[in-house]
Amino acid sequence: MSEIRRDPVSNRWIVIAPELFEEMILSAKDRFEPNTNLCPFCPGNEAATPQEILAFGPADRLPNSPGWSVRVFPSRTPALRPEGAEDRQGKGIFDFMNALGAHEVVVNGPDHHGHLATLSREQITLILKACRDRINDLFGDRRLHYVMIFIDHGKSAGQKLGHSCSQIVAVPKVPPSIEEELRGAKQYYDLKERCVFCDILMQEVKMGIGFVCENDHFVAFCPFASRFPYEVWLLPKEHQMAFGTQSDAQLQALSGILQAVAIKLDAVLGEPDYHMVLHTAPNLAAKPGYWQTVPEDYHWHIEFIPRVFESATYEWGAGYYVNSVAPERAALALRTPH
Ligand SMILES: [Zn+2]
Ligand SMILES: [Zn+2]
Ligand SMILES: [Zn+2]
């Protein structure tokens, strides 16, 4: 059984999930199987996945049958499970708790080969709607403090099957990288009484150095201190702390800029693998009185991390990144029409 343990030095929470190892060995041979008959995400193979939680399709479609355009179900081998209480315990100096949470898979469409750069805008909007609806549903559970949403695209990014999916992971603790952002945003707000992300956005649009593209609701840019070559962030122009409050119209605009960025990365970098990660506010209902300033100082966004030129980026062992492509150069290449 999985368990979440706290490292007493860094205070990081680590999910120990021994059963995943066995599953990884078993499924390794099926990965990137070119024969779509064997792909559990393809239409017709619904019985190979757990029962669906949510699906978009015609009204007369039966659950767990073909005809869907987006389908969500729990991961077959979740490291975290929604049953039970947190059940925090201590053993000597070590703290641990039940691996409480949720791990869900959103199949990004019935087409085995479709991905952000090639799917229709309507399809991408449906994926975003499914993610929004799931995040709002999961945040109804006060035991869940944070929901991570990400797409791993391509083999080197960790995509297990050749079929595009988004992953939703709900956890009982706010992840350290989000805590870092929340703290940094609060410090900036305490000093200047302005949202740091709104200020970055204004500067990127005005000065245009990292600017990549924009539409009515969103801006894409290469951040000033990019950790990775061709790292791109997408921010809503309007100050909003959470992805879950997006209207259908905003999601439609988001699908447009997501696709534009994916196409630009493909054109400039030759269809790279990438990680796409959503950073949104924590579940404020989970810890009343905590993170009180988040509505004013945090601003949700999406980070694209292409996996290119393995030798062009490295980490000096402790989160100290060396990036050999200046973001202003990456931005210039990306905003040049192709
Ligand atoms: Zn497939
Ligand atoms: Zn803002
Ligand atoms: Zn972020």
Say if residue 124's pLDDT is above 60. Answer: yes
299: CA distance to ligand 3 center in Å?
9
Structure tokens that stand for 41 in this block: 């995400």
Q: Check residues 6 and 139 and name the one with the higher pLDDT.
A: 139
Residues with CB under 5 A from ligand 3 (ion): 279
C-alpha 45 – ligand 1 centre gap (Å): 9
Q: Are 120 and 238 in contact (CB under 8 A)?
A: no
Provide the pLDDT for residue 35: 53
Number of helical (H) and strand (E) elements in the chain, helices listed first: 7, 16
CA 127/CA 27 separation, integer angstroms: 26
Ligand in closest contact with the CA of 113? 1
Q: If you measure from the C-alpha of residue 296 to the centroid of ligand 2, how many angstroms do you get, rounded to a whole number?
A: 7
Going from the Cα of 197 to the center of ligand 3, the distance in angstroms, rounded, reads 10
In this model, does residue 84 exceed pLDDT 80? no
CA of 130 to the centre of ligand 1 (A): 19
State the pLDDT confidence band at 27, using cuts at 50, 70 and 90.
low
- Measured in Å, residue 64 CA sits from the centre of ligand 2 at 40
In this prediction, residue 159 carries a pLDDT of 82
Backbone angles phi, psi at 170, to 5 degrees: -100, 130
Q: Is the pLDDT of residue 21 over 90?
A: no
The type of residue at 167 is Q
pLDDT of the residue at 155:
87
Ligand showing the shortest atom-to-Cα distance for residue 239: 2
- The angle at the Cα of 271, spanning 270 to 273, to the nearest 5 degrees, equals 125
Name the amino acid, one letter, at 183. R
pLDDT band at residue 310 using 50, 70 and 90 as cut-offs: low
Ligand having the closest approach to the CA of 231: 3
Residue 31 has pLDDT above 60, yes or no: no
Q: What is the mean pLDDT of residues 100-119?
A: 95
Query: How many Å from the N-terminal Cα to the C-terminal Cα in the chain?
Result: 50
* Bridge-based pairing state of the strands 218-221 and 211-214: antiparallel
Distance (angstroms) between ligand 3 centre and the Cα of 294 equals: 14
Quick one: which ligand is closest to 148's CA? 3
Say which residues have a Cβ less than 8 Å from residue 100's Cβ, sequence separation at least 6: 4, 80, 81, 82, 83, 84, 85, 86, 87, 143, 144, 172
The model carries a pTM of: 0.92
**Distance between Cα 165 and ligand 3 center (Å):** 21
Dist. CA 168–CA 159, nearest whole Å: 14
Distance in Å, CA 5 to ligand 3 centroid = 24
Spacing, Cα 199 to ligand 3 middle (Å): 15
Rounded to the nearest whole angstrom, what is the distance from the C-alpha of residue 305 to the centroid of ligand 3? 11
Q: Dig out the tokens for 259 from the structure.
A: 């696709």
207-211's contacts with Cβ under 8 Å and 24+ in sequence apart are 209/328, 209/331, 210/327, 210/328, 210/331, 211/331, 211/335
Q: How far is the CA of 40 from the centre of ligand 1 (A)?
A: 6
Q: From ligand 3's centre to the CA of 96, what distance in Å? A: 27
Euclidean distance between CA atoms 73 and 117, whole angstroms: 24
Measure 266 CA to ligand 1 centroid, in angstroms.
21
Distance CA 212, CA 33 (A): 35
